[in-house]
Amino acid sequence: MTEEEKESANDPVADLHERQRRIREEMGGADRVAKMRQEGTPTIRDHIKGVLDDESFRELGTHSRSMRLEDRHNTPGDGKVGGEGRIDGRPVAIGGDDITVKKGSSAIVGGRRMHRIYERALERGMPYVYIGETGGGRIPDLIGAEGIADVAPDPELTQRRRQIPMATMIVGQSFGGSSFQSAFSDFVVQVRGSVLAVTSPRVFEVATGEIIGFEELGGVDVHSRITGQIDVGVDTFEEGYAAVRRWLSYLPSNAWTTAPRSDFRVDLEPDDSLAEMVPLKRTRGYDMRRFSAALLDPGTFMELQPGYARNLTTGLGRLDGFSVGIVGNNPMFNAGVLDPEACRKAVRLMCLCDAFNLPVIFLMDVPGFMVGKAVEHDRILSLAIRFVEALGNMSTPTLTVTLRKGFGLAFPAMNGSGLGSSGLYSWPGAEIGFMDPDVGVNVAYASRLEQLDPAEADVERAKMVSEISLATSPYEAAGTLRIDEVIDPADTRSVLVDDLRQLEGRRVPPPEERPLSYWPTV
């Protein structure tokens, strides 16, 4: 024994501090930590430090280790590290995978450690952040029936009902446990170069003979553009830390408190620049992302799933300091039509906002739902109705502005009349109806027009389109109280702010009365 070890053995407090030092500094091996430092690869403790406020981390479960006798001496933390800290001064729980210990693989004690941290977070009403980078389930620890039962998905996660916000950041190769954690989470950020999948390409090859690369299997581009299983893809760890912190800034710490309101208060004077961003011709595109950013408080719009279902824009932001969700059709991509991916994207944002009592603003400019064999086979019928059903079950306030058009089932789906909106508004040039007048004439009167010569058909078609267009005027909807008001586009911001200020005093239903907090969204 060294002199320091002898001294520690005679002094219980000194022994405690020496044990903590070795575990926290040397982790799964001082040589492994040194190599990671040399390569510029953060350890799990570095990641936790990057997410939290400076010097705010308090570790829990430091002395945990594998249950297997032969591994007790070399598995500090049993592959997991976690505890509690603060983000922007607010308490959070945080944990993640330690790849210096058996590649961060999941085993019995490590699973108990993460469960305990989550349990404390739920009891205290704190957000839970997970840093994911695991090699999967550990063999032979889990090979038996008892072992696999211990690392099955945490029952409390399956029943959590979004009582606390949960975020996952994927920082490396993530297979199994941390991938499951991401699928439970309300927010997922993935760092480029990492992999998010149920299992590794090596298992694929052994089980099926399929050979596939890591990036092709579950890289950032796959999940941000194809699967929609992440909310934000980033290039660096620092960008990932910032994304987690920013996302949490819009949310309350839990479902039974209110989201923090910033000190910013908007200028309620008319703003003609909003109308200038939207072309009068309804077939011309514009970027709903730019419009949303201009409508909200400066610099506050955080787009979610920007590369997935780009025909629909979703995100969080602030308006007059209030945290709000945004759902808007984006005519820059596929005319802003609603398709299966757009339905999934909208419902994910709606569930988040409903669970944490954030009002949702719908910005409508939609030609309808996509039609065709491909979307029918991709369950457009089921997903469109799920979208409408989710909307009908929202407990948080919703506000709608129809900017240019709302046709067909897409009009109620984008929070049109009849589904409980707290405020329904339309710009004066908008069109609301069963379908685009041009399309409607071609569908309903095709045989009649075919009987006329081309010149007469053109005149007749123009007359029909004009007549149907009059019926789609927002004044027709306002005249029968299907919308609340036709507003000057320059007053859009002030109208929405007035509503948000009035809604601040409404009765907020308790978490158990918010149906969408129960809904799965993956």
| pLDDT of the residue at 241 | 98
State how far the Cα of 345 lies from the Cα of 459, in Å rounded to an integer: 42
* CATH class of residue range 273-429+473-518: alpha beta
| pLDDT of the residue at 441 | 46
Supply the pTM of this predicted model: 0.91
Task: Tell me the percentage of the chain whose pLDDT exceeds 70.
Answer: 89
State the DSSP code for 317.
E
388 φ, ψ to 5°? -65, -40
| pLDDT of the residue at 443 | 56
3-state secondary structure of 166: strand
Q: What Cα–Cα distance (Å) separates residue 177 from each residue in 96, 110, 234?
A: 10, 11, 22
CATH topology of domain 42-249: 2-enoyl-CoA Hydratase; Chain A, domain 1 (3.90.226)
Report how many helices (DSSP H) and strands (DSSP E) the chain contains, helices first.
23, 17
| pLDDT of the residue at 73 | 87
State how far the Cα of 45 lies from the Cα of 54, in Å rounded to an integer: 13
Positive/negative CA dihedral, 209, 211, 212, 213: positive
What is the CB neighbour count within 10 angstroms for residue 454?
Answer: 8
| pLDDT of the residue at 19 | 92
Which residues of the chain carry a pLDDT beneath 70?
Answer: 1-9, 143-153, 435-453, 456-471, 521-522
| DSSP per-residue letters across 206-228 | HHH-----HHHHH-HHIIIIII-
